[in-house]
Amino acid sequence: MEIAVTVVAASRPETTLQVTRGAARLLTALGYAPLAEVTLPNGRRADLMALGPKGQIFIVEVKSSVEDFRTDQKWWEYRPYCDAFAFAVAPEFPRDILPEEPGLIVADGFGGAVLREAQVEQLAGARRKSLTLAFARLAAMRAAGVQATALE
């Protein structure tokens, strides 16, 4: 008996959605409360921003393809707005092209795994308070059904 196997490659938007979902599920399992697509005070949009149980702020940048990574080299602009930063990629993503400084999460639509811990650089107290309040307001507005994306 012969079994035919068809491999269907996900489109870039589908891959982004799956990796984002899996990374968010992982962050939740690690005790974080994630929000997707958060616009930072510098105008950059974080794919995931999460608040930890002790007030830590974690930003995750999802990379859906090599082209996506190579055309968007502004990841270092997220660092002033978080204690920890990581990339999240699909299992088939060529991880050797990613920089070694950020953390690394491999995720799919069901969950994820931390392959490299994110380096922690503590935010200044005033910035943490400002970001935490803005994060809480954004989460509350979304819970109320208001289409909001920016930390204000």
150 pLDDT band, cuts 50/70/90, is: confident
Cβ neighbours for 57, distance < 8 A, ≥ 6 positions apart = 49, 50, 51, 81, 82, 83, 84, 123, 128, 131, 132, 135
Provide the residue ranges of all domains of the chain, joining segments of one domain with +: 12-143
pLDDT, mean of residues 68-93: 94
pLDDT for the residue numbered 37: 95
118 has a pLDDT exceeding 50: yes
pLDDT > 70: percent of the chain: 95
Residue 80 is given by DSSP the state G
pLDDT, mean of residues 132-136: 96
57-63 and 84-89: which strand pairing? parallel
Cα-flanking dihedrals φ and ψ of residue 148, to 5°? -120, 145
Please provide the average confidence, as pLDDT, over all residues in the chain. 92
Helix, strand, coil percent content, the chain, rounded in steps of 5: 35, 25, 40
8 Å CB contact between 74 and 40: no
Sheet of strand 57-63: strand arrangement: 33-39, 45-51, 57-63, 84-89, 103-108, 111-116
Helix (H) or strand (E) holding 37: strand 33-39
Q: List beta partners, residue 84.
A: 58
pLDDT, mean of residues 144-148: 89
2 pLDDT band, cuts 50/70/90, is: confident
pLDDT for the residue numbered 7: 46
111 has a pLDDT exceeding 80: yes
pLDDT, mean of residues 95-124: 96
